[in-house]
Chains A and B, each alone.
Chain A
Amino acid sequence: GENVEQHPSTLSVQEGDSAVIKCTYSDSASNYFPWYKQELGKGPQLIIDIRSNVGEKKDQRIAVTLNKTAKHFSLHITETQPEDSAVYFCAASFNSGGYQKVTFGIGTKLQVIP
C-alpha cells in the first residue's frame, strides 16, 4: 500500500520567514495530494491541493510543488504569521475500486515565533 513520509515533525520559524514542509510517497498511482491544516482543538481543514498533472500551485502565501518522478511534494508558506501556527498534514490519494484511498503523513507542528 501507499506510504507517506513527512518531515520535519516540528518546525519553528520567525514571523516573516518562510516555512517548508516536505512529503514523499511510494505508490506511483497516487494522483491527488491535499494539504490540511489543523488548529488547536479543531479538525483538519483543507488549505491547498495539487493534482498529478500539475507541477506547482499557489494561493496567496501558500504554494505546493509536486515532483512525480521523485515522488515528493512540498508545502511552502511565505511571510509566515503567528496564525500560521498549527499542525500540517500532507496526504496522497489514488482511486482504488471506486474509492479514493487516502494516506496521510504524520503531521508537522509549525510554530511561528512573533
Chain B
Amino acid sequence: DADVTQTPRNRITKTGKRIMLECSQTKGHDRMYWYRQDPGLGLRLIYYSFDVKDINKGEISDGYSVSRQAQAKFSLSLESAIPNQTALYFCATSDLVQGGETQYFGPGTRLLVL
C-alpha cells in the first residue's frame, strides 16, 4: 500500500463551489504539506503543518484553507473555487534527516475548475 494517499485523484468542479482534497499517510511523520504544480512554475507550497496544532501558510495560501484532523490526515479546502485554481495538487510528508529534510509525495489530485 502507498505510504501517502490522496483522494480524489481527479476532480472537476464549477466556479464558486467548495471542495476538499484529502491526504492520509502511514509513514508516521509529523510534518505534512500541500503543494500545487503548474506547468512552467514547478511546485509551490500552499500550507504546511508540523503537528496537529501547528498550521502555517506557504507562499500561495490565498483562496485555500487546511485542516489537520490527526497526525495522519491533512486536508485542503478551496472555499470558493475559481478557474485559476486548476492545477495538480500534491500532499507530502517529511522526515528530518541529518542536514536536510526529505519529502515524500502522494500521487496527486488533478483538479479542473470550470
Chain B binds chain A: yes
Are the CB atoms of A100 and B101 closer together than 8 Å? yes
* Interface residues on chain B, number (Cβ under 8 Å): 25
Q: What separation, in Å, do the CA atoms of A9 and B41 have in the docked complex?
A: 11
Q: With both chains docked as a complex, state the minimum distance between the C-beta of B68 and any C-beta of chain A, in angstroms.
A: 15
Question: A31 contacts the other chain (Cβ, under 8 Å)?
Answer: yes
Are the C-beta atoms of B90 and A51 separated by less than 8 Å?
Answer: no
* CB proximity of B1 to chain A, nearest CB, Å: 15
Determine whether B76 belongs to the interface, using a CB cutoff of 8 Å to chain A. no
Q: CA–CA, A113 to B103, complex, Å? A: 30
Quick one: closest B residue to A42, CB to CB?
A: B107
Given contacts A89-B42, A106-B42, A107-B42, contact A34 B105 (CB under 8 A): no
- Give the complex CA separation of A104 and B44 in angstroms: 8
Given A31-B100, A32-B99, A32-B100, A43–B42 Cβ distance below 8 Å?
Answer: no
Q: Which of B4, B43, B92, B106 has the most CB of A within 10 A?
A: B43
User: What's the A-B contact tally at a CB cutoff of 8 Å?
Assistant: 61
Q: Is the CB of A43 within 8 A of B100?
A: no
A36 to B108: give the CA distance in the assembly, Å: 15
- B32-75 interface code vs A (CB 8 A; 1 in, 0 out): 00000000111111001010000010000000000000000000
Name which of A6, A36, A53, A106 has the most chain B CB atoms within 10 A of its CB: A106
Q: A43-B4, A49-B100 are known contacts. Are A9 and B105 too (CB-CB below 8 A)? A: no
B96 beta carbon closer than 8 Å to chain A: yes
A93-109 to B contact mask, C-beta < 8 Å, 1/0: 10000111010111100
Q: Are B99 and A44 in contact (CB under 8 A)?
A: no
Is A102 touching B41 in the complex (CB atoms < 8 A)? no
B94 interfacial by beta-carbon distance below 8 Å? yes
20 other A-B residue contacts (CB within 8 Å) besides A32-B101, A49-B100, A89-B43: A6-B42, A31-B99, A32-B99, A32-B100, A34-B100, A36-B105, A43-B90, A44-B43, A46-B102, A51-B98, A51-B99, A93-B100, A99-B50, A100-B94, A100-B96, A100-B100, A100-B101, A102-B103, A104-B42, A105-B42
